[in-house]
Structure 1
Amino acid sequence: MLRLCIALCVLATCWDCLVSNITVKQDFDRMRYQGTWYAVAKKDPVGLFLLDNVVANFKVEEDGTMTATATGRVIILNNWEMCANMFGTFEDTEDPARFKMKYWGAAAYLQTGCMCRFTIIYYFLCYIIIYIVI
């Protein structure tokens, strides 16, 4: 068992983790992406503002831009727990399945880094897998 664990660790160090090499969903349809999404599991990277109980609503506006509202539990000043409401817009890239999110208002100051989203695979009736780089 120890040998298997060591072999997996060595293999993991050889894995290509360049964001530009991530294969994304082909034929991405943002109209099907809009709606309400619930975060059921996530890793907590440094700088991610919403901790848990995250519910996001994505909407495609009439001009084609995509916006998002999200609510979730946050801790401010290391001890003040509250529910935060956030608003953001998506910045398009050359690939429709790759987009960046920009928060507005107070959330713009609380979120650190660039939140880049990559839609890897989706089955809209059940789930979506999103890789987020902060």
Structure 2
Amino acid sequence: MTEGHDARQAANRLSRAARDLMQSTEDLEIPADSYAVLGNVLDAVRSLEVALGELLEWHRGAEPGRHFAAAHDDSTIGIMTTVTELDLAVQQADGLQQTLSRAYGGNAVVRWFDEVEQLDEN
């Protein structure tokens, strides 16, 4: 499997990118950048929703004896729990996507300054 298609490595890169984003969004030097940042976050959430759905379907199709120990009750319970929780995660990701879409739309109509304006103290 190539690096670009290896889910484990892709998830690792995603985790690092999310941490980088977290550390860089505390203070935006250019206020208008918030629009692009929100757009990219929205795109990432859309992709995450699809990835979660794919993980859900993979787990739903996991076969005892082929993908996990067939006679191991904890494995069976673990698969059932994973399917249930991933189904919920997909629903929540859809809700997050809808919420971010509204935020993105609201941000689109703001007339941002290229630089933060200094307020007069008078």
TM-score, length of structure 1 as denominator length = 0.24
TM-score, length of structure 2 as denominator length = 0.25
Give the helix-richer structure, 1 or 2.
2
Rg comparison, structure with higher value: 2
